[in-house]
Structure 1
Amino acid sequence: MLSVFKRISVDEAATLIEEQQALVVDIRDVNTFANGHINQAIRVDNDNLRQFLDSNDKSRPLVVCCYHGNSSQSAAQMFFEQGFTQSYSMDGGMCEWVIKHPVVSS
């Protein structure tokens, strides 16, 4: 059992998403998210954070992504502290993801 969030590679994130139906939280701004994001990612910010916390299964793995994998670390820790016991920060962020994996646009 994790005591804090864990940092994972984009390939590890892709595996969690595909094999364990991990939730994907994208904390980038609305315009950047609209220009491309991981399939089924949920954009979370201060305006919808409470709703997200209240309406999602905290036992599912949770992958947090941002631009480069820096901001996602503190966000992943916050999600862990809110009860997501399998909280992961994706190293390299979306900058790394787009090199290896497809993205969808809104």
Structure 2
Amino acid sequence: MKKFISLLVVVTLFASCQGQNAKAIQTIDSKAYSEKLASSENPQLLDVRTPQEYAVEHLENATNVNWNGSDFTSKVEKLDKSKPVFVYCKVGGRSSQAANKLSELGFKEIYNLDGGIMKWQGKKTSNTAVTPKGLSVSEFEKLINSDKKVIINFSAKWCAPCKKMAPYLTQMQEELKGKISLIRLDADENKTLLETMKLDELPVILIYENGKETWRHLGYLSEEDLRKQL
């Protein structure tokens, strides 16, 4: 009986903690995020991507605190926990983890940008001197104009679903050589191309036949589901 009561107490405390975390964090879309930022006095706005990503572009007045850096906790501990804090990353994965950590540290009001900077509609600070060039639209069109079926994969080094898909895509590149062209492109090095194509989520799989798009998928895709389209 005592063991049961102890277990019940642990479960109750865990559930209570989870509930408090959920209450502290709000994941909201670009419009609501922008409005909340504008209505907050001296907002604590955190870009939790890498310094390299931040250098290319970031939201105006954002401070870079790398979620994957060893000093993330020590840096955010210097912030005012009684005031709202806003977090964002590229597509929302890292900022979601950062938001959970901020809640654990005692922050009471946390706003996470749904879809990350890829879905942001407001002002950004860009550094054109370090913005990767990547492929132009005309160069991309040359890639897809083929008598073979062409698969285009946009991914990024920091993207967890992309990493999960990478092994089977690498295997398929070898397996389908000469039959189908499977081309993998770095999203961070082709930012302008993604914006032109209105792709605001990663990973991306696009299939072309005779230069025309016949199928697309945004987000994680299993090997089995991709093979169904070939």
Instruction: Give TM class, smaller chain.
Output: 0.7 to 0.9
Deviating 4+ runs (over 4 angstroms) = none
Pair 18,92 (structure 1): closer, same or farther in 2 beyond 3 Å: same
Contact 1:16 1:61 in 2 (8 A): no
Counting strand residues as a fraction of each chain, which structure ranks higher?
Answer: 2
- 2:49 counterpart residue number: 28
Alignment of 1:21-100 (within 5 A): 21=41, 22-45=43-66, 46-97=69-120, 100=121
Secondary structure, aligned partner of 1:57: coil
Larger gyration radius, structure 1 or structure 2: 2
Distance 2:101 2:74 in 1: 15
Partner of 2:175: none
**Please, what is the CA RMSD of the aligned residues?**
1.8
Matched residues in 1 for 2:90 and 2:76: separation? Answer: 22
The residue matched to 1:7 in structure 2 has which SS? strand
User: Does the Cα contact within 8 Å between 2:49 and 2:94 map onto a contact in 1?
Assistant: no
Equivalent position of 1:11 in the other structure = 31
TM-score by length of 1: 0.85
Q: Quick one: percent identity of the two aligned structures?
A: 25
Q: State the secondary structure of the residue aligned to 1:3.
A: helix
Between Structure 1 and Structure 2, how many residues are aligned?
103
C-alpha distance in structure 1 between counterparts of 2:101 and 2:77, whole Å: 14
For structure 1, list consecutive stretches of 5 or more residues without a partner in the other structure. none
Query: With CA pairs under 8 Å and 6+ residues apart, which has the higher RCO, 1 or 2?
Result: 1
Structure 2 alignment gaps of length 5 or more: 1-18, 128-230
Helix, strand or coil: the match of 1:78?
helix
